[in-house]
Amino acid sequence: MRIRTAVAVSAVPAAAAALLLTAPPSQAAGPVQPATCARKVLAVRAEAAAADRTVVRVSVTNHGTRACLVDRVPTVTFGDLDGVALPVPATSGGTYALHVGRTAYADVRTISDPKDPEARRVPGIGVSASAYQWGRSFTAARLGTGREVVVWEPVTTWWQPTAAAADRAIGLS
């Protein structure tokens, strides 16, 4: 009896392995992850927060027919300056799932003290949902920051499910 039990028990893992090896990769690996969002299905928006003009609210909406992935944080650039807004909290990467018709929100603090003598002034910013995609440019006037955007050591939140959550993450509420 013990031999049959041992053979039956060892046959189960072997059968499972055989099924996994013959199954299509999508079934063998478990649930399929959404694909990266195509730029053409995304709508990117940005505007300065009324309560604090050093904070720019950005959003991205998925107008596609499937859920897709964007970077965990938006890529925000400032005029012709080198670099991007750094994520707070810090992250080494990752993705954010954006479901059909849904919008994700992030806040960007362009400068902590607009009177800082190190501050730079740029005519606008660039915002992208993912670093590997071209984004959208926004002039200072369109953002509502006046004639320029004041910037020094900018930071951005991760994508959030609501604008209120992005505001809390940057310290607006």
**Digit-coded pLDDT (tens) for 68-98:** 999 999 999 999 999 999 999 998 889 999 9
Question: What digits encode the pLDDT tens for the residues 34-59?
Answer: 899 999 999 999 999 998 999 999 99
Using CA atoms in the order 138, 92, 110, 128, what is the torsion angle rounded to 10 degrees? 0
pLDDT, position 33 = 80
Residue 10 has pLDDT above 60, yes or no: no
Q: Strands 68-71 and 120-122, how do they pair?
A: unpaired
CB 125 within 8 A of CB 46: yes
Q: Which residue has the tokens 């859920």?
A: 67
End-to-end CA distance of the chain: 69
- Summarize the confidence of residues 8-20 as an average pLDDT: 42
Over 50: is that where the pLDDT of 99 sits? yes
pLDDT at 32: 74
pLDDT band for position 100 (cuts 50, 70, 90): very high
Phi/psi at 26 (5° precision): -65, -30
d(CA 156, CA 152): 13
